[in-house]
Amino acid sequence: MQITKQGKQAVASLDFAQEIGNLLAELRADGVPDELGIAVTVCLIGWVLTGHCINCLPKTDEEWTALAIFCDSHAAEIDEVGGACLAVVCQNDYVQ
């Protein structure tokens, strides 16, 4: 897995920020601990950064393992993108 230009553009989009905001709001409404919400967000950012669709998550154990390895080895990039994404989410009140 590697970061793609398409993935960078997708993660930087307002649509992606809205989707993350909606997801975080749903998780919070369902009583999911913030730590788990953060972990889910990190995985989604990593998945989309590699050019995958946010709505087509990994299906096999191998894909999940590859994603975990990718997220671990690209933590700085994901953190940077995640911070920017969450700033957009907060600025636009996507999380309630």
pLDDT tens readout for residues 3-27: 999 998 898 888 888 888 888 888 8
The answer as to whether 67 is a domain residue is yes
pLDDT at res. 93: 61
Instruction: Note whether residue 96 is domain-resident.
Output: no
Give CB contacts under 8 A, 24+ apart, made by 63-70.
Answer: 66/1, 67/1, 67/43, 68/43, 69/1, 70/1, 70/46
Q: For residue range 54-95, list pLDDT tens digits in order.
A: 888 899 999 999 999 999 999 898 888 877 777 776 776 655
* Domain count within the chain: 1
Q: Is 93 left (phi over 0), alpha (psi -120 to 50) or beta?
A: left
Structure tokens that stand for 2 in this block: 């590697």
In a domain, 33, yes or no: yes
Residue 25 located in a structural domain: yes
| Position 96 pLDDT exceeds 80 | no
For residue range 36-52, what is the model confidence (pLDDT) as tens digits?
Answer: 888 888 889 999 999 99
77-to-28, 30, 61, 80 alpha-carbon distances in Å: 25, 29, 24, 5
Q: Quote the domain boundaries for residue 66.
A: 5-91
In a domain, 87, yes or no: yes
